[in-house]
Amino acid sequence: MHDRLLQLQRDIYLYETREFVPGEKGVFSVDNSAMLYFFPVGGFFAISFYGVGHDHDYHVKMRDLGYDYNFAFGCLLDLLCEQENAEKVIALTFDGPDEGANGTNGWDFNRIINSGVTFPNLESFKVKLTDIGDHNQSIIDSGGTMNEDGMIARLLRKMPDLTTLAVPSAPDKSFFEIGRHPLRELVVQAGYSQQGFIENLAESDNFYQLQALDFSDLHDMYDGIPEHDFVDFEAYKKLFESSVFSSYKHFHFTLRNAALSREQLLELQKISSIQFKYIEKAKSRYASHLLR
């Protein structure tokens, strides 16, 4: 697999520096061009991808689609969909520039989901999160629909020993219907819909080893999100009263962007003795928008 990854690095560089028009060779940009990093860890590999995550046609091998499509991302997923390669991966990280269309930076893993591959040794799976200063919101995007559509649950089914998961969209209810799973650290941003995530987690018992949760409610970039779209106090209360927070004495919960009052936050802390950190709701704006 080492040689395959090296060759893919070379192929990605050639893709990024190809001629867009005859006689005009592309220029490699450290900030914006796709890149692949990997680190041998014993007989395994930790792999990091930097680029964009859209996929034009996951039914066709990327090398058959050619250079007019998102070559780097698709080729990496094709490589990972070969079982002998997937078995050697212990960490996958997907990051990239603040790029997107219509304010959205979507990550589509249908190539993996629609293959028969599993990742028996994968311990960490992380996808680019949205930073408060980003122009585009990062999400898990199933087939270009801008919906998560159960994709996170279907990925997790292929990762039976995953311990760390970080995703920019809240998973739907199917995430809690995959059976018992040894996940220990979970980082979730709501993306475009929190999908009842907190209440679904409170009612589940499948993540029996969960020790740390970092949850960000909706990121209001344009003052356009109704208050009722945010997770309500009763859902958080149900979570604090659930077995999720009583499983580990030193459970750590980080909550961001919640639509809660100071009094409600204090009431939650009184319910449970977990380590509870709250990060104030933050907004980013163009000054020109404030003039409108």
Tens digit of pLDDT per residue, the chain (292 long)? 999 999 999 999 988 887 665 666 777 888 889 999 999 999 999 999 999 999 988 888 888 876 667 999 999 999 999 999 999 999 999 999 998 887 899 999 999 999 999 999 999 999 999 998 888 999 999 988 889 999 999 999 999 999 999 999 999 999 999 999 999 999 999 999 999 999 999 999 999 999 999 999 998 766 667 878 899 999 999 999 999 998 777 899 999 999 999 999 999 999 998 999 999 876 676 776 666 6
Spatial neighbors of 22 by CB under 8 A, at least 6 apart, are none
First-last CA distance in the chain:
55
* Rounded distance between C-alpha atoms, residue 264 and residue 246, angstroms: 20
101 DSSP β-pair partners: 104
For 4-39, give one letter per residue: b (16+ CB within 10 A) or e: ebeebeeebbebbeeeeeeeeeeeeeeebbbbbebe
Q: Enter the pTM of the model.
A: 0.94
Please report which helix (H) or strand (E) contains residue 41, including its range.
Answer: strand 35-41
Residue 139: strand, helix, or coil: strand
Q: What are the tokens at 116?
A: 């028969």
Q: What are the tokens at 157?
A: 């089914």
Q: Provide the angle, in degrees to the nearest 10, between the axes of the packed helices 71-80 and 2-16.
A: 170
Residue 216 backbone dihedrals phi, psi, to 5 degrees? -115, 120
DSSP structural state of residue 232: P
276 DSSP β-pair partners: 253
Residue 112: strand, helix, or coil: helix
The beta-strand segments (E) located in 42-197 are 44-50, 89-95, 104-107, 124-127, 137-140, 164-167, 185-189
Q: What are the tokens at 223?
A: 């003052």
- Using a 10 angstrom Cβ sphere, with 0-12 exposed, 13-18 middle and 19 or more buried, the burial of residue 116 is exposed
Residue 7: strand, helix, or coil: helix
Q: Look-up: residue for tokens 């603040």?
A: 98
Q: Residue type for 260, please?
A: L
Where do the structural domains in the chain lie, given as residue ranges?
2-290
